[in-house]
Structure 1
């Protein structure tokens, strides 16, 4: 059937973390089996940097040949910060305490901004640390989960985004580090109870305001300017039916805008003051370039933008955009590694559910994304390609609750509407015969929240599925919320429901409480160090399914967390999972 899944898993990928004024890109490559730092020159010449385990992101220290790196151990997501001198190629611990999380928020000349939960393991404070002397100041300690934090150019103000009360909503706060009175210290730019999603936030170069991506008082995300003096919002760039994300250049002259068109990225350059479109960036293919990939990043002089780009046939490349000419250069070429990769078609199943459809045949796999505030985009996935190579149609849907289709759509599965989204699986199953699929030969595959959907589908719609693959999935919403890491509980309760007042529904929506209805064979994968969905979620499910006499395989990796990062573990697990599905659908 063509492609070998082991070869697909071995295709290496690149990601862009930062770019300097000469067009050198600080990148990550997984060619060794785990992400390692590499510096890419503007002509594509690669210089490997010293090895460090568990790299998640890195940034140049402006004005120095030095790099700040965030890294963890065994997938535990407890990020530590280290300083790498590019001169002597040595790492120095910068902020290390394995008991706590340290999230890299930004790097300024000689300083690093980071968020940490070391005060109580729940709330995240924001600190600014001198990378050379070690002197440190905590600039925010009022609680919440910090999702972003940006210091103003004069370092007086901090714009920070924290989780708000509503599902998939954030609150934007402005902190004055030198207030006239204590009451003036924090200003709420958006309310805690607003249904507002905040995306990228950046400062105007003179510190007079912010450029904010948000759907405040809108159905779709747009790009606005907030003026500090007048407290006035001005929408600069908006689209009637699509989410936008904007990134302002350091000099404030240009605004890079990505339009999300059904999971395909369109990239344009706009005037940073008026929002008027200046250029369209020609990307190599219809693909994707933002979350869950690294966001685009500007060089300090505003000339260059480094992109991480992926399409179904391009695993993950680093692109360098010269904004003086709008020229795009691919510094890597991951698409040449493998011929025969399959492009999808985009459809709306039953006229309503957006889907990418890969391949053709009489057996099918529904490949379900996580989140639930996530989106399946038009980008490379070795497992999708491997399932197609094994002879299956792979349908990659964005059921209700997915982002990218407006505020109403992503809120359609919140809390007590959770089971409504399960009915979308039934709609998809009813639609599959229209594309030639035998309804008796359909499997579910998903990771994280997608794993919950797999288990819920098997438990609540048991007659429809021939098999399921659950990767780091939730089996009980109650035990998940009780046992997830303390810093995550409130953020997840606002999405799924509150233990103290919604327990009855959380029990109702938990596959564990319908486990006796599961009749399809299961393949379960989990990381022992998962801080989000504890291993106990898999263990209790597998014990119950096996106790009912249903075939259930379990694979646990002791050196993995919520993401499977090690190539050897991928090679030991995913070919088995695809073989399992293929056997069940034969």
Structure 2
């Protein structure tokens, strides 16, 4: 329900009283624009998850409005495997069987549970519980012949252990319980070893651990106290070495090899101007290499032995084929005959593709009954000078509807996330509404090098907020009206919205905060235990940095906020509790600042269900129409 005494939409009486012709123009557009928003939000997407021995694929598909697991048979036919009221998170085939393991949660609470499906069962397979304990998180790591690897925080709610469960007996074997947030695991082909990516001491850092599973002997492959990011671990087929994407000892991620027999690192492929990631083919001969370039990610095949390029994948330019945040990694078929991955761009919803090395073909596997995508435009890539001479990367989406003369800064979460050149229906809809949309990668963002993503750590937190002011000052250079500039963001982007309104109240005309942080102190006090242990490394520690955390919190400056605010939050959010939204809106209500709070009882950290997005976002658009119409 609307709060803070502000109507959700303008009434005819209010329009008449205002006497503003631009208000009437905006309201005339409302029905048409909300229809465009509905169309864009409702376009289905599909993402590749796994491939089996026969060439069948598992994909996540949201054509029903909630993301579910589907199977694509080798002949291209689709079959729905799940029909839950909540989104599925991951799924894998069990090799040598007709079974699938599915990870799913309830109401966006992120407490993943594992179930098993029998593909031989006709119709929609029954979901049989495999690893279920609703009080804890369980994440599917790998389905192996006869067993499944998963991580869980059920031991103490903070640390994640790696467990192997036998499918025949249900017996669990602990493979690692050495502590930490285990963010990714890669098991060797011979099952003797696993490599763990564990959140380490410095902010935004990942430590690599090599674990011998029989003895739980742990070898540190990278130091625990080093500012390094690691990812995309691939094993050679004989389990003798791994290939890792790592920025150890350099600014950009390179491809590095670690040989177990010599305990030595060597470089496979280095590009000092770009981050690289790779996925090794099952025969160990070639790497599928991702090159990150200013939000775009291209794929090419390289020879492992010398790093030489074999072929560039023929895909539409201007999008992402891997490493787009929230998109699964590419996956090779067990026989190496093809690789499945997901492609997305600002004008193309996520679509599954197949790459066939033998022929070099890249083949789209479109979702069934995919409707026509409205005509959209690609963004410009520009740089904005900030207060200290740094250059902030931004993508500029020009209006595709009648130009309203307003600008929306759409800020990503993280803070170490990044805005990539991916499908984002809200950004497309904002442009269709007539806004110029600025999508920045402020300092602290990933994919622009280690130096850039470290520039907002701890005591430097408010420097990223200063980047917003720099963008505001720069707006006239692209013909934008500074008086009609809006902030929109989710998660850490929601914090940035609130911080911009609180610390720069004279700059912004309105804000839309989605699952954002109002107080760094109460956020750290109330977030999930395992997240607090890691997020304090980024923001500061409650025990030693409370004064700074208070100073950097928008709630501490709430009396300065005067711009209208629309807030969206899920009641089950395990990352940023609902109390963050409630306290900022209560404080604004007390001061009579225009605001609305939209809470969804079946959502968590964001809106996963189409029915809720179709409710929340049109309300937010209407809120902006109303309040921008009153800007002189």
Class of the TM-score when normalised by the shorter of the 2 chains: over 0.9
* Number of equivalenced pairs: 582
2:591 to 540, 548, 554: 548
- Give 1:64's aligned residue: 97
Deviations 1:500-532 (A, max 9, x none): 111111111000000000000000000000000
Mapping of residues 275-354 of structure 1, within 5 Å: 275-289=307-321, 290=323, 291-332=325-366, 337-350=372-385, 352-354=391-393
Q: Secondary structure at the match of 1:452?
A: helix
Contact 1:42-1:331 at 8 Å conserved across structures: no
Q: Secondary structure at the match of 1:90?
A: coil
RMSD: 1.5
| Cα separation, 2, equivalents of 1:384 and 1:43 | 36
Mapping of residues 123-522 of structure 1, within 5 Å: 123-179=159-215, 185-289=217-321, 290=323, 291-332=325-366, 337-350=372-385, 352-360=391-399, 361=403, 362-522=405-565
Alpha-carbon deviation of 1:133? Answer: 2.4
Alpha-carbon deviation of 1:54? Answer: 2.6
Contact 2:327-2:342 at 8 Å conserved across structures: yes
| Cα separation, 1, equivalents of 2:292 and 2:370 | 23
Deviates more, 1:80-89 or 1:40-49: 40-49
Q: Secondary structure at the match of 1:338?
A: coil
Deviations 1:265-297 (A, max 9, x none): 110111123322111111133211333211111
2:56 to 9, 21, 24: 24
| Cα separation, 1, equivalents of 2:463 and 2:274 | 24
Deviates more, 1:146-155 or 1:218-227: 146-155
1:54 aligns with 2:49: no
| Cα separation, 2, equivalents of 1:284 and 1:135 | 47
- Give 1:80's aligned residue: 113
Alpha-carbon deviation of 1:385? Answer: 1.1
Q: Secondary structure at the match of 1:337?
A: coil
Task: Calculate the TM-score normalised by the size of structure 2.
Answer: 0.90
Deviations 1:520-556 (A, max 9, x none): 0000000000000000000010000111110010000
| Cα separation, 1, equivalents of 2:531 and 2:82 | 33
Deviations 1:464-489 (A, max 9, x none): 00000000000000000010000100
Mapping of residues 99-110 of structure 1, within 5 Å: 99-110=135-146
Alpha-carbon deviation of 1:339? Answer: 2.3
- Give 1:118's aligned residue: 154
Q: Secondary structure at the match of 1:207?
A: coil
Task: Calculate the TM-score normalised by the size of structure 1.
Answer: 0.97
Alpha-carbon deviation of 1:154? Answer: 2.0
Deviations 1:275-323 (A, max 9, x none): 2211111113321133321111111111211111111111110111112
Contact 2:158-2:533 at 8 Å conserved across structures: no
Deviations 1:325-355 (A, max 9, x none): 2211111069852222222111112382111
Q: Secondary structure at the match of 2:103?
A: strand
Q: Secondary structure at the match of 1:418?
A: helix
Contact 1:23-1:320 at 8 Å conserved across structures: no
Unpaired runs of at least 5, structure 1? none
Contact 1:19-1:304 at 8 Å conserved across structures: no
| Cα separation, 2, equivalents of 1:297 and 1:404 | 22
| Cα separation, 2, equivalents of 1:419 and 1:398 | 15
Contact 1:458-1:465 at 8 Å conserved across structures: yes
Q: Secondary structure at the match of 2:482?
A: coil
Alpha-carbon deviation of 1:584? Answer: 2.1
Contact 2:53-2:95 at 8 Å conserved across structures: no
Q: Secondary structure at the match of 2:596?
A: strand
| Cα separation, 1, equivalents of 2:316 and 2:76 | 16
- Give 2:10's aligned residue: none
Deviates more, 1:105-114 or 1:254-263: 105-114
Q: Secondary structure at the match of 1:318?
A: strand
Deviations 1:27-63 (A, max 9, x none): 1111111011211234532122242343101011112
Q: 1:225 to 1:469 in 2, by over 3 A?
A: same
Contact 1:252-1:273 at 8 Å conserved across structures: no
| Cα separation, 1, equivalents of 2:80 and 2:573 | 29
| Cα separation, 1, equivalents of 2:383 and 2:485 | 18
Alpha-carbon deviation of 1:253? Answer: 1.4
Unpaired runs of at least 5, structure 2? 1-28
- Give 1:584's aligned residue: 627
Contact 1:21-1:303 at 8 Å conserved across structures: no
| Cα separation, 1, equivalents of 2:235 and 2:363 | 28
- Give 2:617's aligned residue: 574
Deviations 1:52-95 (A, max 9, x none): 34310101111212111100000000000011110012321110
| Cα separation, 1, equivalents of 2:625 and 2:340 | 40
Contact 1:356-1:397 at 8 Å conserved across structures: yes
1:92 to 118, 128, 131: 128
Deviations 1:172-194 (A, max 9, x none): 11112344xx8xx1111111100
Contact 2:43-2:371 at 8 Å conserved across structures: no
Contact 1:263-1:376 at 8 Å conserved across structures: yes
Contact 1:43-1:331 at 8 Å conserved across structures: no
Deviations 1:157-184 (A, max 9, x none): 22111110001101111112344xx8xx
| Cα separation, 1, equivalents of 2:355 and 2:580 | 44
